[in-house]
Amino acid sequence: MAEKTEPAEAAPQDVNARLIAKTIPVTVLTGFLGAGKTTLLNRLLADPDMGEAAVLINEFGEIGLDHLLVKETREDTVLLNSGCLCCTVRGDLVNAMRELFWQRFDKKIPWFKRMVIETTGLADPAPIIHTLMTDPTIGPRYRLDGIVTVVDAVNGPATLDAQPEAVKQAAVADRIVLTKADLATPAQLADVRDRLKALNPSAPVFDASGDFGPIDLFDAGLFSADRKIADVAGWLREEAFSEPEGHGHDHHHDHAHDPNRHDSRITSFCMTVDDPIPWDGFVTWIEMLIATQGENLLRIKGILNVEGEENPIAVHGVQHLFHPPVGLPSWPDDDHRSKIVFITRDIGRKVIEDTFNAFAAAARSGA
């Protein structure tokens, strides 16, 4: 008779992955005033793939939903033909998310499997991201899936010049939707595309007049409902962060180095590490970065080959906050090097790489 063996105890990262996979994915829809968030949201709400979703917006009066309404369930909640639940946020975001979750649980509102939060045009997305990452009352129930940013092709360059919030909205996006491209001149279109690529090389850019839907904008995070890797390979593509040959710092787009532009302070790059990383050294290094440069670490996303671990560990941070590390079920491809994407303000690649190498060397030597 075969000897009965006890099941192996799951690694903490694996347990964390299972817990995250059970939470409700939240997409943050942002973009500066007049960029076209209302039009995009209407388009998404009319799509059958948006069924079983909850949408939090600022005020119903700001968005034309009349042709989509079925009935009003409360003063600030309506049901849509697509099956979506749409709710206004008139106070605290956390309270609204918590209330919707329990009404869903008690079957007082339709069951929803996804949430979209539309921010105001002037909003810095960081506070919402912080809330989703840190609030203990919603953390076990919701997870940040991704950030979709709407950018106006005609007015986008001028907005990026004048508004720091618009720069951060574009820099931290997982998906970018470019509106009014048909109204822009070729020069305007080339300018805004160049600047978006410099700000955020790994974010796919969709033309608002093109053929795309919720399936293209959502599931941008590390986990989908079936625990498959979603965008890991995409947002860690090294070539996205490499300047093409002949397009170095002596190129003709002198405006890219205008010190008066807000996005001239923001840098995006991917750091690749060939050898497995000592976990203690990585943690100490990240804690040092957060303590000394946290405000300027706009976003960090990485997949790590950690010493002693067979599968990759995913890390994700925004400014002073870091998600707990999560073990992924497999590598996205045959490249098992560690790759970390940084979107920083006033911090160059050299500072990041030099400090990492110092802390990793110290950890390996046991210092």
Q: Say which CATH number the domain at 282 has.
A: 3.30.1220.10
Q: Is residue 184 in a domain?
A: yes
148 in the same domain as 107: yes
Q: Is residue 88 in a domain?
A: yes
Total number of domains constituting the chain: 2
- Quote the CA–CA distance of 45 and 23 in Å, as a whole number: 22
Q: Is residue 341 in a domain?
A: yes
237 in the same domain as 217: no
Domain ranges, residue 298: 233-244+261-365
pLDDT in tens, 101-156: 888 888 888 888 888 888 876 677 777 777 777 788 887 888 888 899 999 999 88
215 in the same domain as 162: yes
180 in the same domain as 292: no
pLDDT in tens, 265-316: 888 888 999 999 999 999 999 999 999 988 888 888 888 999 999 888 888 8
67 in the same domain as 89: yes
- Quote the CA–CA distance of 106 and 94 in Å, as a whole number: 18
Q: Is residue 8 in a domain?
A: no
Closest CA to 179 of 366, 38, 338: 38
pLDDT in tens, 153-183: 998 888 888 888 888 889 888 899 999 998 8
> b/e per residue, 43-77, with b = 16+ CB within 10 A?
bbbeeeebbebbbbbbebeebebeebeeeebeebb
Q: Is residue 269 in a domain?
A: yes
318 in the same domain as 351: yes
3 state SS for 184-223: CCHHHHHHHHHHHHHHCCCCCEEECCCCCCHHHHCCCCCC
- List the beta bridge partners of residue 115: 26, 54
Q: What is the mean pLDDT of the chain?
A: 76
Q: Is residue 6 in a domain?
A: no
- Quote the CA–CA distance of 231 and 158 in Å, as a whole number: 31
Q: Is residue 138 in a domain?
A: yes
195 in the same domain as 84: yes
